[in-house]
Amino acid sequence: MTRMDNNMNNDVSTPEVIVPSMPADQSQMEDRTQRSAENLEVSRRGGLEAVGVHAWFNKHHALADVSLHFPENTVTGLIGPSGCGKSTFLRLLNRMHEFIPKAAMAGEVLFEGNDIYAPGVNPIEIRRRIGMVFQKANPFPAMNIGENVVAGLKLARVKTDDKDSLIEECLTRAGLWNEVKDRLKAPGGSLSGGQQQRLCIARALALKPEVLLLDEPCSALDPGSTLRVEETIVQLSQTMTIVMVTHNMQQAARVSDYCAFFLSEGGPGHLVEADLTTNIFSNPADQRTADYVQGRFG
């Protein structure tokens, strides 16, 4: 049963008009309300939301004016050709963008209604609650499998009463428990590529994040591992919000509830269209979206 079947039974909250916190002037406010009808905007009650987000690398404007809301317990796929800023946008959501020297941003990212870039916000706390899994699986080679799972606890200095049951729980949710339950002491690097990636997912889960960001998690994996990771993602979305960058449109169609299509037309990457996955693939609003999902470019 794919994610799209699930969607048919879900209630989708009615789009409301976004009210920006501090409109600079009347025309700007009208601009935003105009565009918000095109994008998928919901109330600012919960979940994760980007508002007018820009990104720069040194002086290079890489991402322009992205406003996107990620409803709770859904999977949103970020699709689009390479180089249009999807990964950059992802990194802005958990404050990883700032590790790049001479990086800059503008706009807001609201997590539970509060801007994560506000002064006084502890980015470490943000990264604990908004987890990330990278394109290339990166388990810590110096630790064994069990230690890798709880590595986040050690790094973020989070206490836990029962380490073993946490390890089992996370590995089960990542769909890896049955394969490694007998060799928790084996080194982290001894697993196959797909298993390593699921280990990284388990590692991210140990901190019990509310949002999980995945940056092309299956691009380096074989089809069998890819399928298993996708199953895991679908399962996880029942309890957390998931945002996934993917190059694979079929994967986006299989796994995501909503899709956001990014494009760069010579300038900074920007958001063209965001909608339910079914709409994006069957009757997109923008011609460029239609061209992309039908494979006419990309």
Partner 1 sequence: MTTYETSTVVPAPRRPWDHTRSTAIRVAVLVFLSGIFGLVINAITGLSGFLGWYLGLAFAMPVIAFVGSVRHGWNLASDRIATALITVAFAAVTIPWVSIFVTVYQKGSKAFHAKYLTDDMRITPSSDLIQYGGVAHAIIGTLIMVLIASLIAVPLGILAAVYIVEIKGRFAKLVRFLTQAMSGVPSIVAGLFIYATVVVFFGGFSAWAGALSLVILMLPTVARTSEEILKIVPDDLRTASYALGATQARTTFRVVLPTVASGLVTAAVLGIARVVGETAPLILTASYFVAKSTSLTEPIASLPIYIFSSLGLGDDNATTRAWGGSLVLLGVVFILFAIARTISTRLSRK
Partner 2 sequence: MQTTDSPVAPREVHTYYTKVDRVFRGFVAAAALFSLVVLLLIAAFLLYRGFEIFADFGFGFITSSKWDIGNPEDTSTAVLGIGAMLVGSVITAFIAIIVSVPFAMASALFIEFYAPRFLRTILTAVLDLVAAIPSVIYGIWGYVVLLPLVEDWSGTLYKYLSWIPIFDVQTPIFGRSPLLAGLLLAIMILPIVTSVAREVYGQAPRDLIDASYALGGTKWAGIRTVVLPFGKSGLVGGAMLGLGRAMGETVAVYLTLNLVFKTNFQILASAGGNVASLIANKFGEATAYELKALMAAGLVLFLVTLLVNFLATVIVNRSRKIV
Question: Interface residues with partner 1 (CB under 8 A)?
Answer: 24, 28, 31-32, 35, 52, 54, 56, 61, 64-65, 95, 98, 103-107, 117-119, 122-124, 156-157, 263, 265-266, 270, 272, 287-288
Residues 89-148 that bind partner 2 (CB under 8 A): 94, 96, 99, 101, 124-125, 127-128, 131-132, 134, 136, 138, 140-142
82 in helix, strand or coil? coil
State the binding partner of 151 from partner 1, partner 2, none, CB within 5 to 8 A by kind: partner 2
DSSP state for residue 144 in the 8-state scheme: B
> Which residue shows structure tokens 């979206």?
289
Of 42, 40, 66, nearest to 53 by C-alpha is 66
Q: Write down the least CB distance from residue 152 to partner 1, Å.
A: 12
Nearest to partner 2 of 81, 134 (CB atom): 134
Round to whole Å and give the CA distance between 263 and 8: 28
Site for partner 2 in 145-174 (CB under 8 A): 151-152, 154-158
Contact of residue 54 among partner 1, partner 2, none (CB under 5-8 Å per partner type): partner 1
Q: CA-CA distance, 44 to 108, in Å (whole number)?
A: 12
Structure tokens at 71: 């409803």
Q: Report CA 38 to chain centroid distance, whole Å.
A: 21
Please report how close the Cβ of residue 107 comes to partner 1 at its closest, in angstroms: 7
Quote the CA–CA distance of 259 and 262 in Å, as a whole number: 10
* Measured distance CA(289)–CA(262) in Å, rounded: 9
Footprint (CB under 8 A) of partner 2, residues 38-77: none
Q: What minimum distance in Å lies between the beta carbon of 104 and partner 2?
A: 16
Q: Give the DSSP per-residue string, 184-210.
A: TTSBGGGS-HHHHHHHHHHHHHTT--S
Burial class (CB in 10 A: 0-12, 13-18, 19+), 141: exposed
- Of 68 and 263, the one with the shorter C-beta distance to partner 1 is 263
User: How many CB atoms neighbour CB 140 within 10 A?
Assistant: 17
Number of residues that bind partner 2 (CB under 8 A): 27
Q: Which does 154 bind (CB under 5 to 8 A by kind): partner 2, partner 1, none?
A: partner 2
What is the 3-class SS of 84-113, one letter each residue?
CCHHHHHHHHCCCHHHCCCEEEEEEEEECC
Q: Is 57 or 134 the residue whose CB approaches partner 2 more closely?
A: 134
Smaller CB distance to partner 1: residue 101 or 223?
101
Residues that bind partner 2 (CB under 8 A): 94, 96, 99, 101, 124-125, 127-128, 131-132, 134, 136, 138, 140-142, 151-152, 154-158, 200, 203-204, 207
